[in-house]
Chain A
Amino acid sequence: MFKRHGRAVALLAALTLILAACTSSDDGGSSETTAGETETTAAASSGGSVLAAVQDRGKLNCGVNNGVPGFGFVDESGEHVGFDIDYCKAVAAAVLGDADAVEYVDLDAQQRFTALQSGEIDVLIRNTTWTATRDGSEGATFLHTTFYDGQGMMVKADAGIASLDDMANTSVCVQSGTTTELNLASRFDEGGIPYTPLTFAENPQIQEAFIAGQCEGWTSDKSQLAGLRSNWPEDQGGPEALVILDETFSKEPLGPVVRDGDSQWAQIIDWITLATITAEELGIDSSNVGSFGDTESTEIRRLLGLEITGDDGATSVFDPGLGLEPGWVVDVISAVGNYGEIFDRNLGSDTPLGLTRGVNALWTDGGLLYAPPYR
């Protein structure tokens, strides 16, 4: 009797231990989430907690793409390069003073918002289209557009397809979890064009299917298609084997995204983008950013955080109160250059993509880039 009794007690003790272990490990797991949570929620009230977290950590966690040449791509040497990557560097330069203090987190289209919500990344710069639903129900805040894109269709040059209306009974490859598939469905359903969508998770798989002739069309943002076309394997005929149809069937404004609830952090990211645009407008680039020490223009002196002498002879340094050190713009511009430089380096005519500025030109040149005054 005693023996069995003892066994029951031992069992109970073991059970309690196991349960305790479970709960305590749960505690450990969720206290992290709760910490991340207080971070985001506290941000709304006290302000600056993502900024503080990044500065404490000494590294920026930037959610990026690794499969789109020109925007976010891992090159032969294993380095992240691209337009979006340069904006990650700009944020690190502004916030930490070191453009290389970035931890790149490669995300696919379906993971990106979850990674942002969970606090795994501080900012998402991964050719993400700004839409009302995403702004409204993903717990995300979309910031100033860095690249105005539009959706297009790429087909093989010898397929006998000159426009979308020639595409009846075709199969179209598209990346899943993107606005691209929504626009594809709208355009083809409204046009009454019967087709079969094949939704893959990653671009490399689409490329395999496209080469094998499983799908006849590949739809994505035109800039992405240009990048993919420029990298098209030579044994498949190189870029000339493909054409991108003229029609653009959606607006795709791409820009950085942050979590809801920390307006200071959102303003900082916004003004980093705007500073690169303003710098281009004022003719400041990475080669001459150090040469404005004695410029007369107060506009430039304000932007670069140089001393401004008032009428009474007193000097001051302009600080808009964003929570960044004066002179942060100098760090950004010397690290990645102004908007034009970032564009030319990654997407411009000297790159394999060979894109023209188009709508992504300054407003003074008839484009859409227009920054509010920095004062």
Chain B
Amino acid sequence: MTSVSETTERTRPPFWRDLAVLRVAAQVAAVVLAALVLVYLGNNLVTNTRAQGITLGFDFLDQPLGVDIQLSPITASNTILQGLIRGWINTLALVIVGLPLLTVLGVVVGVARLSSNWLVAKLAALYVEIVRNIPPLLIILFVHNVVILGLPPKNEPASPLGWFSISNFVIAGPWFDASDGAGAFWTAVAVAAVAAVFVWRRRTKVNEATGEPHHRVAYSLGLVVLVGVIAFFVLGRPLSWSLPVFKDRLVTGGIQGLGQYFSMLLALVVYTASHVAEIVRGSIQAVAKGQSEAANALALSGFQRLRFVTLPQAARIAVPPIISQYLNYTKNTSLAIGVAYAEVTLIAFQAIGNGQPAPQLILLLMVGYLIFSLTISFVLNIVNRRMQLVSR
């Protein structure tokens, strides 16, 4: 044992030629250099802002906002911090609704590009090639100026079926009107939804173990609907239908969104979906050809081939690049400043224009978007990990 270590000692080169030492040294040097650059830049910022008489620090967040925020309870007397939080909520409203929509549109178009129907395939290709190659800001301005501003003016809204109120200012649709017991109702539905997940898993296991049809959609959906209907009547009809009504320049009732919101949503969904479509197409083509040939040999229909053979395998390849498209979508919401949708970037820039310090506000924005993006990629990476092939 000792002799072995002695030989190692003897054969070890001097430290400046020792690979183990050098490797660590290279890492340390890189970290030190990076830290120096950061310190230098930070110092630069502090000296320059001090020289210009601009204060550093975040006390300004308690100052009054000074402006009202559209369709929200935030007014000029709320603080800048509250305004920024409202901005994040508005950003979130774009993200939560947009991601599912763009995924569905992207998958449909991506599959359509590979369709054997000539017209469908060419139309999908045309859409992808046009939209994918235009900067998102131009698409947003186009959608806003041509589609949304082309709707009826604010004071002459169209109301198809009497269920909607559509103008270029507000688009509103039917929604629920909550009365006493609505909270209990939603709790019951939520509990049923959780239970439905377990039912789904149980049915899947039964199916795998015995081969009997799982009917998991019918079972779980049925559970939720059943509980919902019972709760609705037991609690004395806590929800009623609320339709939007236009009167005295104002739309009341229903669920409403500003024209600006729909400009952003439509433009960004259409833009990002074109990228997702390409990812989906590429992923499907990356599935080994033998797989679909085998599916054909088993006499699966076109839909069955997609649903059970190609798409599940393509999804494994597609998820990581789609995550990065989700992040792009989230970051592109900051372009709303072009069409007056009050998301967080617009509110921060308003504050900067009104004399609040730019470095801090921009830092807050950057940190906020970082947290947003990291959360999305954290959640989706879990999904990704669960979808990957498990080698046993």
Q: How large is the interface on B (under 10, 10 to 19, 20 to 34, 35 or more residues)?
A: 35 or more
B260/A177 in contact, CB under 8 A: no
User: Contact: A131 with B26, CB < 8 Å?
Assistant: no
Q: Are A133 and B155 in contact (CB under 8 A)?
A: no
Decide yes or no whether B303 CB sits under 8 A from chain A: no
Which residue of B48, B258, B358 is within 8 Å of A114 (Cβ)?
Answer: B358
> How far is B33's CA from A181's CA once the two chains are assembled, in angstroms?
46
* Complex alpha-carbon distance, A84 and B250, angstroms: 40
| Contacts known (A4-B19, A186-B76, A214-B153); A133 close to B51, Cβ less than 8 A | no
Kindly supply a per-residue 1/0 record for chain A positions 284-328, scoring 1 wherever the CB is within 8 Å of any chain B CB and 0 otherwise: 000000000000000000000000000000000000000000000
- B40 and A26 contacting across the interface, CB-CB below 8 Å: yes
- B34 touching A19, Cβ below 8 Å: yes
Among B54, B150, B355, the residue within 8 A (CB) of A131 is: B355
Decide if B190 is an interface residue (CB 8 Å cutoff). no
User: Would A22 and B338 be within 8 Å (CB), given that A177-B353, A185-B66, A214-B169 are in contact?
Assistant: no
B70 CB–A CB distance under 8 Å: yes
Beta-carbon contact of A213 and B155 below 8 Å? yes
Interface size class of A (residues with CB under 8 A): 35 or more
**A-side contacts of B249, CB under 8 Å:** 168-170, 216
| Alpha-carbon distance between A1 and B22 when the two chains are bound, in angstroms | 13
Of B19, B26, B37, B354, which is within 8 A of A5 by CB? B19
Q: Which residue of B lies closest to A116 (CB)?
A: B52
Q: A197 contacts the other chain (Cβ, under 8 Å)?
A: yes
A217 and B77 alpha carbons, distance in the complex (Å): 22
CB distance from A165 to the nearest CB of B (A): 14
* B356 proximity list for chain A (CB < 8 A): 137
Q: Mark B153-184, 1 if CB is under 8 A from A, else 0.
A: 11110000000000111000000000000000
Residues of A within 8 Å of B40, CB to CB, are 23, 26, 30
CB-CB under 8 A from A351, the residues of chain B are: none
Asked if A371 is an interface residue, CB under 8 A from chain B, the answer is no
In the assembled complex, A230 has its CB within 8 A of some CB on chain B: no
Q: Is the CB of B68 within 8 A of A189?
A: yes
B54, B168, B337: the one within 8 Å of A137 (CB): B54
Can you report 18 A-B residue pairs in the complex whose CB atoms are below 8 A from each other?
Answer: A5-B17, A8-B26, A12-B25, A16-B33, A37-B48, A113-B353, A113-B358, A137-B355, A169-B248, A169-B249, A176-B340, A177-B353, A182-B66, A185-B76, A195-B68, A197-B68, A199-B342, A214-B259
Given contacts A9-B22, A181-B354, 6 further A-B contacts (CB under 8 A): A5-B17, A16-B33, A131-B355, A182-B66, A197-B68, A197-B69
Top 4 closest pairs, chain A to chain B, by CB = A177-B353, A213-B153, A139-B52, A133-B355
Q: Residues on A close to B: CB < 8 A?
A: 1, 4-5, 8-9, 11-12, 15-16, 19, 22-23, 26, 30, 33-34, 37, 40-41, 109-110, 113-114, 117, 131, 133-134, 136-139, 168-171, 173, 176-179, 181-182, 184-186, 188-189, 195-201, 205, 208-209, 212-216, 259-261
Interface residues of chain B, those whose CB is within 8 Å of chain A, are 17, 19, 22-23, 25-26, 29-30, 33-34, 36-37, 40-41, 44, 47-48, 51-55, 66-71, 75-77, 145, 149-150, 152-156, 167-169, 248-250, 258-260, 337-340, 342, 346, 349-350, 352-358
